[in-house]
Amino acid sequence: MARTTTIELHKEDMKFAAGHFTIFSATHRENLHGHNFAVFVSLTGEVLADGMLADYDIFKGAALKQCRAWNETFMLPGNSRHLHVEKDARGDVLARFNGEELRFLARDVTILPAENVSLEELARLFGEGLVGDGGSFRANRISHVVVKISSEPGQWCSWEWRDHG
Ligand SMILES: Nc1nc2c(c(=O)[nH]1)N=C([C@H](O)[C@H](O)COP(=O)(O)OP(=O)(O)OP(=O)(O)O)CN2
């Protein structure tokens, strides 16, 4: 019977500071604001004869890379049914919401393939970016990954991947 374990990664530098606003309806959104988002990743899989699941530095590095990619940016939902985003030739962004126009310089904004910049969507995108097609996790006999994102202490949302292979 294979022995399994779960490695939990929630290092101090697994975080990103970003701006956003949550959209609640076609006419109601929050004002622009930001958070110091924290990231938690857990890896569950089989421990081999060498007493290891896998070198978790591989996955910690990938998580830190994603944190850096989302650090110090303003996040907009690119797939929102209520907010419409367009880029000009310079890559600067005009976002339209309920008759309002919000403008951003290309350097300041990240347009996410998300319906909303919510904890749910951030956890999903972070997890999908980390796991990809699951190949490196399967190769390391990792069968279950949980990614959690918090907007502040005590407020988390999770996303999971399981290897059904
Ligand atoms: N299901 C979700 N609901 C809400 C989300 C979300 O991501 N998913 N996000 C928000 C707000 O964006 C977020 O809560 C705003 O943070 P803050 O201004 O800090 O207000 P909080 O309520 O989180 O903090 P308190 O200190 O508890 O007031 C709302 N809903």
- The residues near 54 (Cβ < 8 Å, ≥ 6 apart) are 43, 45, 140, 141, 142
Measured between alpha carbons, how far is 142 from 35 in angstroms, rounded to an integer?
31
Q: pLDDT at residue 2 above 90?
A: no
Q: What are phi and psi of 110, to 5 degrees?
A: -125, 120
Measured between alpha carbons, how far is 157 from 126 in angstroms, rounded to an integer?
11
User: Which pLDDT score, from 0 to 100, does residue 162 have?
Assistant: 97
Task: Please check whether residue 87 is in contact with residue 96, taking contact to mean a CB–CB distance below 8 angstroms.
Answer: no
Q: pLDDT at residue 87 above 80?
A: yes
CB of residue 155 inside a 6 A radius of ligand 1:
yes
Q: How confident is the model at residue 119 (pLDDT cuts 50, 70, 90)?
A: very high
Q: What is the mean pLDDT of residues 93-99?
A: 98
Which of 20, 22, 117 to mutate to test ligand 1, by most ligand atoms within 8 A of the CB atom? 22
Q: How confident is the model at residue 164 (pLDDT cuts 50, 70, 90)?
A: confident
User: Which ligand 1 atom sits nearest the alpha carbon of residue 33?
Assistant: 18
Measured between alpha carbons, how far is 157 from 59 in angstroms, rounded to an integer?
20
Q: Percentage of residues in the chain with pLDDT exceeding 70?
A: 100
CB of residue 138 inside a 6 A radius of ligand 1:
no
CB of residue 151 inside a 6 A radius of ligand 1:
yes
Instruction: Tell me if ipTM is over 0.85.
Output: yes
User: Which ligand 1 atom sits nearest the alpha carbon of residue 122?
Assistant: 7
CATH number, domain 4-162: 3.30.479.10
Q: What is the per-residue pLDDT across 12-44, written as a single tens digit (0 to 9) for each?
A: 999 999 999 999 999 999 999 999 999 999 999
DSSP one-letter string for 20-86:
E--B-SSS-BPPSEEEEEEEEEEEEEEE-TTS-S--THHHHHHHHHHHHHTTTEEEEETT-SSEEEE
